Homo-oligomer: A and B are copies of this chain.
Amino acid sequence: MDVKRGEVTVPGFLASGIEVGIKEAGKKDLALLFSEVPAVAAGVFTKNVFKAASVLLDMRRVRKGMAQAVIINSGNANAATGREGYTDAVEMTRAVARRIGIGDELVLVASTGVIGKRLPLEKIIDHVDELVVGLKPSGIADAEEAIMTTDSYPKIEYRKMSLGSRAVTICGIAKGAGMIEPHLATMLSFILTDAAIRPDCLTALLKRAVDRSFNCISVDGCMSTNDTVIILANGKAGNRPLTKSSKELHRFEEALTDCLEGLARSIVRDGEGATKVIEITVKGARTENDARKVAYAIANSNLVKTAFYGKDPNWGRIIAAIGAAGVPVPAESMELFFDDLLLFRRGSGVAVGTQRIESVMTQDLVKVTVKLGMGRKSARIFCSDLSFDYVRINAHYTT
């Protein structure tokens, strides 16, 4: 659904985003999402061993299934900061809770930015009042702007649907362009909905939707310490609360997944330095895990990614990547396509003009299909190419 960014609202939710000086001057870096009433909450987090302080805190709090606010800063990840970092995260939530007059445990927190530096806590605490005063229904776009780091554009997705006689809104925001890999391929994403839904049901739903969206993309194969997806459902739509046995659950899940898929693709398209998106589909695998292994082996090969950047018809690098994936792919049965163009079958290349391959590689979206001929399982993932700009952006990130 096409709406202007400033007009995006979800009944019962307020948001704000301001500049407090964590990032360079002129950039928003602190955001607050707030539900007028305590909302049902669920979260999915990074599997990195070194989880950021915010992740550790949220994992504890979200277990209770309820939350009312999320405070988010960009410019500092508050990761690899030890016990002090954890205390900083707690203080952030406490400042919000006190100012609003709700319990600490109803406030969640997320951080993104440089790893290993203490959070400039005072700057944040000093601006909590401004943040709360600035809350408004149309503040979601400001909040999105404040959570961006190397993102080159904001990522907001918006869906409307009905549940029974009630109109329901789902709105997701996300940030992320680098450190993007499987198992939470986003840095941060927050989904606000006025749907009424039971906590256990929301948790299961979010996990499935994340598996089908954020867990199907890769920019650089690097897993972050801070990946966080949080959904708040405040029930303001007044629908009969969704449960695992609701007939309408499936339609809500489809809308939610669709919203997250939109955000996930937006992240790949905005992958650091990306000039194109590569959609990799692996079919005919014995297991879904095998299909994913092969797809990610292609997606994370620097040689494949640079070839796509240069529009170099060097499809042999894809063959090499598949062969190194750890799946015993039979050369005789495997086939490789760029769009509908067959490039490899029965163990060797098909005579195709270089120009035809190049013209496919020039597209903004290139579909790579691999048929393994081993079984019936498949997987599809999206990745970006590897350009000079990826190196430029990442060679001087902190300085």
With A48-B324, A348-B82, A390-B302 known as contacts, the answer to whether A396 contacts B310 (CB < 8 A) is yes
Q: Which of the residues B85, B388, B396 comes within 8 Å of A312, measured between beta carbons? A: B396
Q: Which of A21-29, A73-81, A283-291 contacts B (4 or more CB under 8 A)?
A: A73-81
**Closest CB in chain B relative to A213 CB, distance in Å:** 20
B306 to A395, Cβ gap below 8 A? yes
Interface string of A291-303 (1 = CB under 8 A from B): 0000000001111
Residue A347, interface by CB 8 Å = yes
* Docked complex: A313-348 residues within 8 A CB-CB of B: 313-317, 319-325, 327-329, 331, 343-344, 346-348
B312 to A349, Cβ gap below 8 A? no
B178 to A79, Cβ gap below 8 A? no
State the main secondary structure of chain A at its contact with B.
loop
Give the CA-CA distance A127 to B188 in the complex, in Å: 60
A399 to B329, Cβ gap below 8 A? no
B310 to A50, Cβ gap below 8 A? no
With A116-B315, A116-B319, A302-B221 known as contacts, the answer to whether A307 contacts B395 (CB < 8 A) is yes
* Docked complex: A71-98 residues within 8 A CB-CB of B: 77, 79-85
Q: Which of A57-65, A222-230, A240-248 contacts B (4 or more CB under 8 A)?
A: A222-230
Residue A1, interface by CB 8 Å = no
A324 to B, closest residue via Cβ: B223
Residue A391, interface by CB 8 Å = yes
B223 to A310, Cβ gap below 8 A? no
B388 to A392, Cβ gap below 8 A? yes
Give the CA-CA distance A73 to B387 in the complex, in Å: 30
A225 to B323, Cβ gap below 8 A? yes
A309 to B, closest residue via Cβ: B395
Give the CA-CA distance A52 to B179 in the complex, in Å: 33
- Taking CB atoms, residues of chain B closer than 8 Å to A163 are none
Residue A398, interface by CB 8 Å = yes
Which of A79, A80, A301, A321 is the most central at the interface, judged by chain B CB atoms within 10 Å of its CB?
A80
B348 to A80, Cβ gap below 8 A? yes
A115 to B79, Cβ gap below 8 A? no
- Taking CB atoms, residues of chain B closer than 8 Å to A398 are 312-314
A316 to B114, Cβ gap below 8 A? yes
With A116-B319, A319-B80 known as contacts, the answer to whether A303 contacts B349 (CB < 8 A) is no
Residue A208, interface by CB 8 Å = no
In the complex, besides A82-B348, A222-B320, 4 extra interface pairs with C-beta distance below 8 angstroms are A49-B327, A50-B322, A116-B314, A179-B320
Question: What 10 pairs across the A-B complex have the smallest Cβ distances?
Answer: A115-B316, A310-B395, A82-B348, A50-B323, A116-B316, A306-B394, A223-B324, A82-B347, A49-B323, A48-B323
